[in-house]
């Protein structure tokens, strides 16, 4: 009988690494679709990843954002500053999931053309708390920050 693998698990198995638990695989897929929606500036698709009562601490003001309507406005502001597709490269993605709650964090290198000219080139740190609602993983809390030298 052939062993069933999740996305990316066959590569892990070939390298002798353990396969990921189902919830971790689902989270990785969900994070990948969110990143792709960000790259394409697909606002409607981005917002399908967030719980209606999401609490976010963002780099754009307001610093505390309550609910998807408010968070949507932050994404609108950010997307308006970028011309064309955004390069949103995730590094060191970590995921830990139970059956109902999960946590993820990663670094992201953001680059792309600015609408007013010039180029964006910066790093952000993203930590997200997820909860499973009706079988779907949604971000309930997110913290996005930019490193600075003190």
**What tens digit of pLDDT does each residue of 83-123 get?**
999 999 999 999 999 999 999 999 999 999 999 999 999 99
Residue 60, class by beta-carbon neighbours within 10 Å (0-12 exposed, 13-18 middle, 19+ buried)? middle
Cα–Cα distances (Å) from 38 to 15, 52, 101, 131, in that order, read 31, 18, 23, 20
Residue 49 has a CB neighbour count (10 Å cut-off) of 22
Alpha carbon distance 59, 62 (integer Å): 8
**What tens digit of pLDDT does each residue of 35-93 get?**
999 999 999 999 999 999 999 999 988 889 999 999 999 999 999 999 999 999 999 99
What one-character-per-residue DSSP string does 132-144 give?
EETTEEEEEEEEE
């Amino acid at each position: 009988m052939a062993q069933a693998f999740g996305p990316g698990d066959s590569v892990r198995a070939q390298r002798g690494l353990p396969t990921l638990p189902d919830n971790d695989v689902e989270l990785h897929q969900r994070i990948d679709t969110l990143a792709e929606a960000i790259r394409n500036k697909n606002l409607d698709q981005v917002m399908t990843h967030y719980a209606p009562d999401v609490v976010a601490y963002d780099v754009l003001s307001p610093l505390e954002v309550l609910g998807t309507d408010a968070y949507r406005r932050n994404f609108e502001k950010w997307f308006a500053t970028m011309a064309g597709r955004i390069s949103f490269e995730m590094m060191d993605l970590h995921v830990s999931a139970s059956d109902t709650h999960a946590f993820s964090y990663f670094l992201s290198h953001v680059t792309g053309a600015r609408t007013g000219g010039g180029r964006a080139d910066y790093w952000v740190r993203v930590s997200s708390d997820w909860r499973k609602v009706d079988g779907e993983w949604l971000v309930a809390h997110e913290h996005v920050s930019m490193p600075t030298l003190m």
